[in-house]
Amino acid sequence: MPQMTITVDGRNVSTDGATISDVVKDPRVVAARINGSLVDLATPLADGVRIETIREDTPEGTEIIRHSTSHIMAEAVKLLFPDAKPTIGPSTEDGFYYDFDRDETFSTEDLEKIEAKMLELVSQNQPFLRREMTREEAKAYFKSRGEPYKVEIIDELDNDVDTVSLYEQGSFVDLCRGPHVPSTGYLKAFKLLSLAGAYWRGDERNKMLQRIYGTAFSSPKELKQHLAFLEEARRRDHRKLGKDLDLFLTSDDLGPGMIVYLPKGGMLRTLLEDFEKKVHFKRGYQIVYGPSILRGKLWEISGHMDNYKDNMYFTELDGQVYGIKPMNCLAHILIYKSKIRSYRDLPLRFFELGNVTRHEKSGVIHGLMRTRQFTQDDAHIFCRPDQLIDEITAIITMVEEVMAVFGFEYTMEISTRPEKSIGSDQDWEMATEALKEALNAKGLPYEINEGDGAFYGPKIDVKIKDAIGRQWQCATIQCDFSLPERFDTSFVGSDGAKHRPVMLHRVILGSIERFIGVLIEHYAGAFPVWLAPVQAVVMNITDAQADYAGQIADELRESGVRVELDVRNEKIGYKIREARLQKVPYMVVVGEREKQDRTIALRDRDGQQQTIELETFIARIHEEQPAV
């Protein structure tokens, strides 16, 4: 082998080695980039190449470990259940999964068997071997193995793809771009987590497959930390807490992605919406309401028919097509156009707690977090171009103030023009620069999310961080020059001529359903006093105090405190325990001493106790209300 000079992580190296692994001896390196392209360590060397190594403890390295672990899981499944047909098995943000077509359902006991087999395969330190085939050779190969899903994937590749790559370890061969770790011995820490159903290609018209979820890390310590995090996330799961706390229900009878609020959940939603109204009215917004369905021609003008149709539902009335609204902007545009507007009228800020319906795929629906029908705290601001920066800045300030009430930290992201979009390049550039200028004026850092804007304009996405560090996208600020143009909106300027307003689409909490789900998990169901559906439970020790307990409950209710009365013939310890399980902030206990002294024994959900006057307690409750 002739001597070559290559660059490894910025250092010039002379070598007569054949592959990257001959040069890179660090056991923490799992893959590399050659001249910017991601490759396996078994990739042949060439003189003058530039190599950047990828260690197992980096985000890219972790992703490769997880993808490799999904292949090991698929091999274990095929060895234990030969009838299972593998489909796809990618890495994810938190782990990996693999989908299988199998008539018999996997069980939790099967997961234990699969994981044990994976450990056995890992101990064999099997190499991951890459090979290439022509497209037709690969199709014939997978047909011979009885794997129709791999054949379908090959058929759907672009016509100009002539060759495909396969990876083999042990007895398992998969269609895959790679790269992978050099051998299974690199996979030191993994855990299978759960089972779920998943439609092939995420389309409910296709066959339902069985999905096995797992996770993997570069070290057992990281895996242990992640499993502890998952356990805490399970404890906070809004679907479980929603049921335990009687907040909402979902059911097959309702259909996927539909929510019914129970009385306590209805109260929680009402409290949030009342808070929202106060926040908006204080800042000059006017409340409006639009219909749930609008004529199809309006959705054609807006561009939704061409760019958003797959996410919408349609119906027909009197021989005409109507679209069920997925967003509230069109009605707000019609409100703006209902009269002649002067430059003196602007900005106009229209606000609506509007119900919208979107066709989400069944596979992505998740409790309150992803629904088909939800309510947005939607607002649209029509302003002059010279007012644009101030209005965006005011929205950002509003986001800051509202998120502080709930104790959320957050980050900002600007999403730019997607492939499927409307409007001129000039308008998109002006809109994007306006968002950047407003964030810069506030001194807020942001990242750029290329190609993820709305089809009518770029946007600022606000990612909030909950109590255990997870990020959720809630607030959004979209800058739109396109819809005002399409709907020919205008205002009369100081010069007496017509001018085009700019339109800002924005939500603060976003989907009320999603925000409630985030709040449930953020607070683990223990809402702050002002937001708790039930703020206090009044309970007696014996029947002799039942009437006094009722009087206390009445006085609290009349003073605006949300209260429940518990005068059941149960031991006081049992009543207190039930109230704490319901995460009620305060338990008001009345015994004979309290009855005689006209006081209350107050206990909070953390176990702190004191005897106080009823008026003092009422004042404390009202002091908990946040300033808006």
pLDDT tens-digit readout, 421-461: 988 999 999 999 999 999 999 999 999 999 999 888 999 99
Determine the pLDDT at residue 7: 87
At residue 420, the pLDDT reads 87
408 neighbors 467 (Cβ within 8 angstroms): no
- Residue 375: strand pairing partners: 355
Q: Which residue of the set 380, 506, 575, 603 is catalytic?
A: 380
Q: Which residue has the tokens 């495909």?
A: 164
- How many whole angstroms separate alpha carbon 213 and alpha carbon 6? 40
Rounded mean pLDDT, 186-190:
93
Pick the catalytic residue from 378, 427, 466, 480. Answer: 378
pLDDT digits (tens, 9 = 90+) for 453-494: 988 899 999 999 999 999 999 999 999 999 999 999 999 999
Marked catalytic residue, from 417, 459, 506, 522: 459
Task: Render pLDDT for 190-228 as a digit per residue (tens, 0 to 9).
Answer: 999 999 998 898 777 889 999 999 999 999 999 999 999
Dmax (CA) of the chain? 100
Residue 329 annotated in active site? yes
> Can you point out the beta strands (E) in 121-179?
129-134, 163-169, 172-175
Looking at the chain, the number of H-run helices and the number of E-run strands are: 19, 32
The DSSP line for 450-475 is: TT-SBTTB-EEEEEEE-TTS-EEEEE
Query: Phi first, then psi: what are they for 579, rounded to 5°?
Result: -65, -40
383 is catalytic: no
Q: Which phi and psi (to 5°) does residue 532 adopt? A: -70, 130
- Higher-confidence position of 48 and 524: 524
The position carrying tokens 């639009």 is 290
DSSP string, 165-226: EEEEETTEEEE------SBGGG--EEEEEEEEEEEGGG-TTS-EEEEEEEEEESSHHHHHHH
Catalytic residue among 358, 370, 384, 417: 358
| Nearest residue to 335 via CA among 374, 286, 301, 394 | 286
Residue 380 appears among annotated catalytic residues: yes
Looking at residue 1, its pLDDT comes to: 59
Asked whether residue 619 carries a pLDDT value surpassing 90, the answer given is yes
Q: What is the mean pLDDT of the chain?
A: 93
3-state secondary structure of 128: coil
Query: CA-to-CA distance for 621 and 419, rounded, in angstroms?
Result: 52
Active-site pick, 236, 325, 329, 478: 329
504-515 pLDDT, tens per residue?
Answer: 999 999 999 999
- Mean local confidence (pLDDT), 346-353: 97
Question: Taking the model in full, what pTM does it have?
Answer: 0.86
Helix (H) or strand (E) holding 503: strand 502-511
CA distances from 571 to 592, 606, 607 (A): 15, 20, 17
Model confidence at 386: pLDDT above 80: yes
Q: Specify which residues 203 forms β-bridges with.
A: none
- Whether the bond between 90 and the residue before it is cis, its omega within 30 degrees of 0, is no
Give the C-alpha separation, 377 to 154, whole Å: 44
Residue 173's DSSP bridge partners are 168
Mean pLDDT of all residues in 63-77: 97
DSSP β-ladder status, 50-55 and 4-8: parallel
Q: Which of 169, 376, 478, 545 is catalytic?
A: 376
Q: Which pLDDT tens digit goes with each residue over 256-308?
A: 899 999 999 999 999 999 999 999 999 999 999 999 999 999 999 999 999 89
How far is residue 366's CA from residue 257's CA, in Å, rounded to a whole number?
A: 7
| Crossing angle between the packed helical segments 220-236 and 512-522, to the nearest 10 degrees | 120
- How large is the average pLDDT for residues 405-421? 93
Rounded CA-CA distance 539/567 in Å is 6
Query: pLDDT for 112-141, tens place per residue?
Result: 999 999 999 999 999 999 999 999 999 999
Question: What tens digit of pLDDT does each residue of 575-591 get?
Answer: 999 999 999 999 999 99
Annotated active-site residue 358? The verdict is yes
Query: 445: number of CA atoms within 13 Å, CB side?
Result: 3
pLDDT at 158: 86
Q: How far is it, in rounded angstroms, from Cα 402 to Cα 379?
A: 15
- Distance separating alpha carbons of residues 502 and 478, to the nearest angstrom: 11
The active-site residue, picked from 505, 514, 522, 575, is: 505
Q: What pLDDT digit, counting tens, does each position of 30-54 carry?
A: 999 998 889 999 999 888 889 999 9
- 67 catalytic? Reply is no
pLDDT at 25: 85
In this structure, are residues 110 and 205 in contact, taking their beta carbons and an 8 Å threshold?
no
* Distance of alpha carbon 469 from alpha carbon 622, whole angstroms: 30
